[in-house]
Amino acid sequence: MQYYCFIYLPGSGSEVPSPDVLADGVNAMLDNDETLRQSGHYILSDALKSPEAATSVRIRNGKLSVTDGPFAETKEYLSGFIKIEARDLNEAIQVAGAIPLARVGTIEVRPVEQLERTDTPQ
């Protein structure tokens, strides 16, 4: 089964990792990706720019609205993700627990939902 491990980092307050911790985290994350490749768990990963680089898009009443910045102010922000293959949720949790940024942030483990078309395409 496939899972996403969403990596959240503190965005404000005393828990915000220092630049040194984040720099060490980058190297540790790259090493972790290689470990996951070797174990057969790795599918895909990416880091995301800070929330200030985001653009939010909405359509309301048929009109497109574009806003610079994140969708909402939060204490934590999504900083990246790793897509993994695991036997079950327990194995996915073990893999997530080894992600280096779990020491300074939060890893959300979420199973991938396989969508199937319910109607016939026209």
CATH classification of the domain holding 21: 3.30.70.1060
Of the candidates 31, 47, 40, 43, the residue with the CA atom closest to the CA atom of residue 99: 31
Domain count, the chain: 1
pLDDT of residue 47: 93
Question: CA angle, 43 as apex, 101 and 28 as ends, to 5°?
Answer: 25
Expressed as residue numbers, the domain containing 57 is: 2-111
* 121 in any annotated domain: no
| pLDDT tens-digit map of 31-78 | 999 999 999 999 999 999 888 889 989 999 999 999 887 666 678 889
- Tokens, residue 36: 């996951």
Identify the residue with better confidence: 121 or 79: 79
* 117 in any annotated domain: no
Which distant-in-sequence residues (6+ apart) come within 8 Å of 17 by Cβ?
9, 10, 25, 104, 105
* 120 in any annotated domain: no
* 99 in any annotated domain: yes
Residues 41, 87: contact at Cβ < 8 Å?
A: no
Is 97's pLDDT higher than 70?
yes
pLDDT of residue 11: 79
